[in-house]
Amino acid sequence: MFRMTDRTPSFSWGTISGVALFALVFAAFWFAVSTGRAAEKEPRKATAWTFAKVDSKGKPKVKTETAMFGAGCFWGVEVTFRNVPGVVDAAVGYSGGKTENPTYEEVCTDTTGHAEVVYVEYDPAKVSYTKLLGVFFENHNPTQLNYQGPDHGTQYRSAIFTYSPEQEQDAKEAIEKLTAEKRYAKPIATKIEPAKPFYKAEEYHQRYLEKRGLASCHI
């Protein structure tokens, strides 16, 4: 008569559960790796940004206009424009380049063509575009080509990005006036460029100085 001995393999529900758990973990790991690789290959979607047309209560805003300036590191520039009476809102970001939806790190490589900019929403009934141009020129050195202070690179260039023929004309006249007055010892290097899509910078850059208790900053 055949008798089972201690050498006979035996199985338990614990063994089966262990094998099943291992298989489940391995499958989850492989799925994560595969999904990650697919995500890396998926192109980033551009997210050009603009100010909302309604206020926080969902009501239409008063008629506003937009302006965009590059004057070096955007942290201090944002504070300066935000403090101008008549300015409704301001945001920092990137514009003027070829890369869609760039990151701060990419812009810092000086290969995207973008400038650090401040996107300004203002009420033309309370502040004129000419006034904003004055603020722009008074708060940075427009004679420095592709740098401001210690920050070097085309991303720190002095630039006015215009949204209409009227803004372009006003910008040209402002430069001509400053040049005629010999306000600066060196030629003005500010570029006037048609506005391209504005890509809002990462959230930690927005109101950067304000979040740190600094109401103003020298540009």
Catalytic residue among 73, 117, 120, 135: 73
Is 73 a known active-site residue?
A: yes
172 secondary structure, DSSP code: H
Cα(80)–Cα(70) distance, integer angstroms? 13
Long-range (24+ apart) CB contacts under 8 A made by 141-149 are 142/178, 142/184, 142/188, 142/189, 142/190, 143/184, 143/185, 143/186, 143/187, 143/188, 143/189, 144/189, 145/189, 146/189, 147/72, 148/71, 148/72, 148/73, 148/219, 149/72
Active site residues: 73
